[in-house]
Amino acid sequence: MKRWFAVLALVAVPALYRTAQADRGSIPFKPHVQVFEPTQRAMLAWSGQEEILLLTTDLKASEPTKVLEVMPFPSEPKVKKGDTETFRRATHLINAKLGMPRPRGRNGGRSKSAPAHKPGGEITFHEKIGAHDISTAHVLDGKRFVEWVNEYLKKSGVDNPVVPPAMTANVDTYIAEGYSWFVFDVVELDDEPKTNEAIQYRFHTDALYYPLKISQTFKGHTSIELLVLTPRLLSRFTGIPIERVTLLHKPIAITAPELRGLDEDMDDLLGHRNDMKLRIWGLRGTLSSFDKDLIAR
C-alpha cells in the first residue's frame, strides 16, 4: 500500500503538457499489494455556492485486488457517472483560444442490526457505476471511524483490514473542521493500467474546494494540475497559500454555448453565463508538504 490521496490532471495545453503522477488515496483489500501511480484528470466548476468536481483515474496494482479509495467533502455530494470527453473538449477549447495546435499522442446502507452505540458513520448513497462501487458516508463520530471502516471492509471481504494511524489522525482533523462527508470508491485492479469511468461529484461549498492534506502523512513528490472554471478569477486562498498555486496559462473566457458544449451540468451550475473563466492551475511539492487543502474564493 502506498499513499491515501493525491490528485493530478493531464489535461493541459501542449506547451504545458507533462507527465504528472501521484498515488491516489487507497487501501488495498490485500495489505501486501501496492497500488501504482495513477493518472487522474480533474476539472472543478464553482458557482460561488456549489461545485462540480469531475474525476477519472488510471490505476494498476502489483497483483489483482480490490482497492478502497476515500475522499472527504464539506457537504453531502451527489454522485453520478461523468463524461471523460469533457476533458478532451476542454483541452481543445483552451488550445483554440490560445491559438495552439491540439495535443498529439494522448487520449485526451446501514447495517440491518443497529449497533448499541452511536455508529461511526452512516451510508447515505450506494451505487455501482461501471468499475466503481461507490458509497457516500456521513461520518457521525470520529472516534469510531476506524472501527466503522474496518467493519465496512470486512463486509466487503477483507479478512484483516488495516487503516494506518496517520490516516486516522488526518480523518479526525477533517471531521473536527466540519468535513464529515466521505466518498468510498471500491474498484477492481490488476497489473495492467486501466482507465476508470469519470465520476462527477456535486456538492455545496462556500469556496472552491479540493482535498490535498488527506495525503500529507505520506512521502513522495507530486505534480498536480487542475482545470478550474469559475465566473470570476479567484484571489483569496485560505487553505494552501496562493504562492503554491501556479497559473499555467492565461485564463480564457468562454461563453454559455461553449460551456454547454463542454458539459451541460457545469453550464446549468454556472447559470448559463457568458463570461466564465477557464484556466489550469499547477501545484508541485512533496505530499507531506500539503498540510492544507485548496480553498479559494
257: in domain: yes
DSSP letter assigned to residue 131: T
pLDDT in tens, 101-141: 554 443 333 333 334 444 455 554 444 445 567 888 888 77
Q: What is the average pLDDT across 54-62?
A: 76
- Number of domains making up the chain: 1
Q: What is the pLDDT of residue 35?
A: 66
pTM of the model: 0.79
Number of C-alpha atoms within 13 angstroms, CB side, residue 13? 20
Tell me, what's the pLDDT at 40? Answer: 61
Classified as helix, coil or strand, 144 is helix
217 within a domain of the structure (yes/no) = yes
Cell of 253: 473566457
3-state helix, strand, coil split of the chain in percent (to 5) is 20, 35, 40
CB 283 within 8 A of CB 248: no
Give a yes or no: residue 1 inside a domain. no
Q: Confirm whether 6 is domain-assigned.
A: no
H-only helix segments in 81-160? 85-98, 145-155
Domain that holds residue 227: 14-296
Task: Identify whether 8 is part of a domain.
Answer: no
Does residue 9 belong to any structural domain of this protein?
no
For residue 281, what are the CA distances in angstroms to 77, 223, 233?
23, 11, 12
Residue 41 has pLDDT above 90, yes or no: no
Whether residue 102 lies inside any domain: the answer is: yes
pLDDT in tens, 16-29: 333 333 334 566 67
Quote the pLDDT of residue 65: 79
180 in a structural domain: yes
pLDDT tens digits along 227-258 = 999 999 999 999 999 999 999 999 999 999 99
Q: Where are the alpha helices (DSSP H) in 236-295?
A: 256-262, 264-269
Q: How far apart are CA 223 and CA 20, in angstroms?
A: 5
The string of pLDDT tens digits covering residues 153-183 is 788 777 777 776 777 788 888 998 999 999 8
Cell of 52: 462540480
Cell of 212: 490535498
